[in-house]
Amino acid sequence: MVTGAAGGIGSAIVRSLAAQGATVHGLDRDLDGQMQLAAELEPHGCFVPHEVDFSDSAAADRVTAAMIGALAGRCDILVNNAGVSRVRDFAETDDELLDYLFTANFRGAFRLTRALLPALKASGSAAVVNIASELALVGQAGYTAYCATKGAVLAWSRALAVELAGRGIRVNAVCPGPIDTPMLNAEFAFAAQPLEARLEEIALVPLGRLGAPSDIAAVVAFLASDAAKFVTGAAWSVDGGKTAR
């Protein structure tokens, strides 16, 4: 199962897992985007889209209940990728925005994983991969609320890995740096000089480029595979060296 399946990173993760033979259930509020992805992958018959908005907890619970039935009680891989960002000065970050970001970026993943716990246990060797962010590791002006939510994802991932280690479930976090996606481009568009903002961001990356969604998908696929069977509780920075400075 992959949340945020229609987004730039999410769709890349779906493609990567499907290419390795997984039947992937997608969860995203963008049903049209998921349907396009399903059409692309149709020859393989391996992607099943579901419409859900994780900022609406009641609706998410209803979809989750239906999903458990669709999975026939077993889930081998869960990728909590869904998330949103907002650029806002701290003094202007009201409770409504804070609650929205925590619900979309953290509570949704927490609640979904909790609901799927019996299905993950039934796998016998399940892998949970949570998409955090470089901003779970470092701070950035204008992102105080977003940093808080992604920091919560990372801390929760580590605690969950310890708690579930004896139940055949591995939990890891991936911390993407600047990835060339519509969400990042929307953040650039918020700047007074979008092109300058993009170039300034690239200048902060030692490898000299923005990441591609496939860069994240490859690491997720590894962490979900048996090749990573002794890896749990880890935070994987996939940022071109940005946070190593």
> Which pLDDT does position 156 carry in this prediction?
98
The percent of residues above 70 in pLDDT, for the chain, comes to 100
pLDDT of 42: 87
Q: Which domains does the chain have, with CATH numbers?
A: 2-182+209-240 (3.40.50.720)
pTM above 0.85, yes or no: yes
Whether residue 212 has pLDDT greater than 90:
yes
CA atoms within 13 Å, Cβ hemisphere of 22: 21
Per-residue pLDDT of 181-199, as tens digits, reads 888 888 888 888 989 989 9
The residue assigned the tokens 């696929």 is 221
Query: 128 versus 45: which is more confidently predicted?
Result: 128
Among this protein's residues, is 143 annotated catalytic? no
Q: How far apart are CA 171 and CA 215, in angstroms?
A: 19
CB 55 within 8 A of CB 108: yes
Half-sphere exposure of 42 (CA within 13 A, CB side): 6
Active-site entry in 47, 54, 143, 146: 146
